[in-house]
Structure 1
């Protein structure tokens, strides 16, 4: 009698069934395994399943057998535990730079890393449609292109846009390209994630300075055959984490060293903002001084204002005056 060609796939199907259907809370008996294989077009004997499971165990699959009532075979451990998968799902949900469509696709792939019962637990915490998401579907591929450019060490060109109001059009919120649609050409050095958005940190040849660009507002990115420039600005002294800390909301401004007077109870807020290596000096029993490098911008002033007077700008005087000027302008 001819052998069923599906028999060659028996071990693979058995592995798939165990990974999809079982976990510590969900086990399959020998009869249930045989039935599942039968639905895949594979007839098998108990003895062969015992040897197949032993082969899977030798291969490294953590297949366990629980004897007794409600017992059976199950996968005891996986590359990702359920709490780790939930963490990944949460990160995707909270990421504004990933579109709703791409979020759902990624979460579906994450579910495949768990058993089907565990995947249903992941589905119960998915609320992607209620989150604010970018509308630029191409960002997922833009990031990959930019990583390639950084690794290859070449310059890129792209168009950069912003959202603008146009009440004369039926589509009132529309794209408006910077520089009238002319191409930007920069040397990419790093990608950073700040305030739920991805940014490219690059050297701008025209201004001879470090600039950053929101990746979801970049279009038609192309790699060139020109080697990137700006090494003198990025070598040794440049730290992407420090750059993100001092550029508030990724809004550029003139970089200054400012001295702040802060209430002691806000040390955690300052540590979260500027990192653990703060140089703290006692001011009095209730306050301390710190010096930090910041890009002075309206966003920096908004951060200071939002702390309700608990943080005060002491010096330099021109930064204090600029802060007072912005407060007066808001009052007016």
Structure 2
């Protein structure tokens, strides 16, 4: 196949992908006119043969039979509805900066026809949710992935905010050393999970607050034999850090959806009369957990263990006082 033939077929494929969909078809005459604008001369029979070759290569080109056949791309890698979902996810993410969101959305719209892309642009709603400003996060995520795959430790500094809302490095710019085990997405944030030398235990760090991240030559400290990433995420991210205990919660029946959403369908529950039930859950005991319980008012209370119940009551009294 000559260079001109290859160039022509590639242009035809480009035209079909960019200009056609189920509601926007194209004829061979229109393809010829578009090719001529690129300085490519072709005849009807040649175009038909090229389209057949494109179909044989696995591209789903649909032909609408008529006095003048019309063509369009059928199945694509992503359907329009899927692209809409991806765009919504990108735009709503608190991990992705507004600049990067705009760039990613532009790239996503190239996966559909230009007609469908214009439809997407017409319906994109950019809300006022908080977006990060740290562009370094993408390189940090990439470094962590590379470190995990190569079994290497990483080093980084960690940001925090002062009471004056000033962003400074934690512990006077201390360089943390981490043996990364996994990246976990929780509550619109990325977290690096691994063994931290400074803390002397498995810890989590928010990726958007990490800076100057580098991969070292040091081999990672391997996970403890009994360490389970899924269990760690369930206990730590659902209610944050704290000693894990089995807690019995008394809830009104209308909170069953909340309990299932939080702890999964396998959560242990028992009826307590006609209006309430008891949920038995393993949870990290912390002020965050107590605040979550308190948010449901008299619809949820702690039954056991007694030390957790007493600590919750003491915290509530301290807030009132």
The alignment's TM-score, normalised by the length of structure 1, stands at 0.90
Provide the residue aligned with 1:87 in structure 2: 85
- Report which stretch shifted further, 54-63 or 255-264: 255-264
Partner SS, residue 77 of structure 1 = coil
Q: CA deviation at 1:21?
A: 0.2
Does 1:199 pair with 2:191? yes
Q: 1: distance between equivalents of 2:103 and 2:195?
A: 34
Structure 2: gaps (5+ residues): none
Q: CA deviation at 1:163?
A: 2.2
Partner SS, residue 280 of structure 2 = strand
After superposition, the Cα gap between the structure-2 partners of 1:137 and 1:183, relative to the gap in structure 1 and judged at 3 Å, is same
Provide the residue aligned with 1:43 in structure 2: 41
Q: CA deviation at 1:165?
A: 4.2
Q: Which among 287, 291, 305 is matched to residue 294 of structure 2?
A: 305
Q: 1: distance between equivalents of 2:290 and 2:47?
A: 69
Q: CA deviation at 1:249?
A: 6.1
Q: CA deviation at 1:126?
A: 2.6
- Report which stretch shifted further, 186-195 or 62-71: 62-71
Preserved CA contact (<8 Å) 1:212 1:250: no
Provide the residue aligned with 1:247 in structure 2: 236
Q: CA deviation at 1:310?
A: 1.9
Partner SS, residue 218 of structure 2 = strand
Provide the residue aligned with 2:122 in structure 1: 124
Does 1:176 pair with 2:168? yes
Q: 2: distance between equivalents of 1:82 and 1:309?
A: 45
Provide the residue aligned with 1:19 in structure 2: 17
Q: Which among 273, 277, 291 is matched to residue 266 of structure 2?
A: 277
Preserved CA contact (<8 Å) 2:239 2:285: no
Q: 1: distance between equivalents of 2:262 and 2:127?
A: 30
Q: CA deviation at 1:75?
A: 0.5
Q: Which among 308, 312, 315 is matched to residue 319 of structure 1?
A: 308
Q: 2: distance between equivalents of 1:70 and 1:25?
A: 17
After superposition, the Cα gap between the structure-2 partners of 1:67 and 1:217, relative to the gap in structure 1 and judged at 3 Å, is same
The alignment's TM-score, normalised by the length of structure 2, stands at 0.93
Q: CA deviation at 1:57?
A: 0.4
Q: 2: distance between equivalents of 1:74 and 1:67?
A: 12
Q: 1: distance between equivalents of 2:16 and 2:100?
A: 28
RMSD between aligned residues: 2.0
Q: CA deviation at 1:98?
A: 0.6
Count, aligned residues: 320
